[in-house]
Amino acid sequence: MSDRIPGIHHVTAVAGDPQGNIDFYTGALGLRLVKRTVNFDDPGTYHFYFGDKTGAPGTLLTFFPWPGIPRGTPGSGEVSAVAYAVPPGALAFWAERLGQRGVSSVHEPDRFGAPVLAFPDPDGTRLELVEEPRVARVPAWTGGGIGREHAIRGFHGATLQVRTRDRTEALLTDVMGFEPRGEASGRRRFRAASEGHGSIVDVIETPDAPRAALGAGSVHHIAWRASDDAAQARWKQRLDRRGLHVTPVQQRQYFRSIYFREAGGVLFEIATDGPGFATDETVEHLGSELKLPPWLEPMHERIERALPPIRTAEPQRST
């Protein structure tokens, strides 16, 4: 078994208005809606997956949109920011594009040598775009007026905010195999085993911050990659031995998941890379219809009728 996590599989957040969520991530950011399904634990709620052409691990930001839910309260014990990777020189384009859509963005000081543009989504989820030279060679999902030279290529990484960082960092390094990569402005950086999408995790310690409260704009959990079921089972054994109270395996149809809460309060998931999103739709038609797992399919008509109606854009393209 590899004793290192390869990187981020997906990040799941909470939204308010389903239509506004789709419009922002597919329209403003140009991501692909790769799956339209429901929260398997609460089938009265949508679950949207936004990513690249196939919804590859490391590109997926997913949402539970609950209409009318109050805004979350930022604080410790959560993923406080999600960062996407874009090619060098792309931030000026993105600042202008976001501004045209009424989204305020801020060019932050270079972080570990890389330019950063920070902005909120419509629900207040903190997003960042980080220029990464390597991604210029990575295939892009394009459309909506966003060319290959500017398009988002998947995750750069995520920021964990905790009151006390020692145990969180020990889990990342001693158990999950992340390597320390330096400290700047109170932010400690760690890199996963892979140099690909979502390999960066930053940890910020805020001892006086209130505990985060879940709501619109909050990140619900962050999921890490396991290559397959066998690797996931070994991770479960290893984490159980550390007393982390890992859940049984949960069937998520497009991957399988285990969950645990780390010492700083952030909900972690380990998800398998497969089987992927083309199990019930072709790659060309991903996200075009509401898809349900087999145990909910007998109630498909009733579930779909109870969900808010939504509109999706025309299919985009990959280059």
Q: Structural domains in the chain? A: 8-307 (3.10.180.10)
- Residue by residue, pLDDT tens for the chain (319 residues) are 468 999 999 999 999 999 999 999 999 999 999 999 999 999 999 999 999 999 999 999 999 999 999 999 999 999 999 999 999 999 999 999 999 999 999 999 999 999 999 999 999 999 999 999 999 999 999 967 799 999 999 999 999 999 999 999 999 999 999 999 999 999 999 999 888 999 999 999 999 999 999 999 999 999 999 999 999 999 999 999 999 999 999 999 999 999 999 999 999 999 999 999 999 999 999 999 999 999 999 999 999 999 999 998 755 555 5
> How confident is the model at residue 191, as a pLDDT?
98
What string of DSSP letters covers the chain? --SS---EEEEEEEES-HHHHHIIIIIIS--EEEEEEEETTEEEEEEEEEESSS--TTSEEEEEE-TTPPBPB--BSEEEEEEEEE-TT-HHHHHHHHHHTT---EEEEEETTEEEEEEE-TT--EEEEEE-GGGGGS--EEBTTB-TTT---SEEEEEEEES--HHHHHIIIIIS--EEEEEETTEEEEE-S-SSTT-EEEEEE-TTSPBPB-SBT-EEEEEEEESSHHHHHHHHHHHHHTT--PPPPEE-SSSEEEEEE-TTS-EEEEEES-S-STTSS-GGGTTSSB---TTTGGGHHHHHHHSPP---PPP-EE-
Alpha-carbon distance 111 to 128, whole Å?
11
Q: Characterize 148-170 residue by residue with b for buried, 16 or more Cβ atoms within 10 angstroms of its Cβ, and e for exposed.
A: eebbbbbbbbbbbbbbebeebbe
Closest CA to 219 of 24, 22, 78, 10: 78
> How confident is the model at residue 26, as a pLDDT?
95
> How confident is the model at residue 272, as a pLDDT?
98
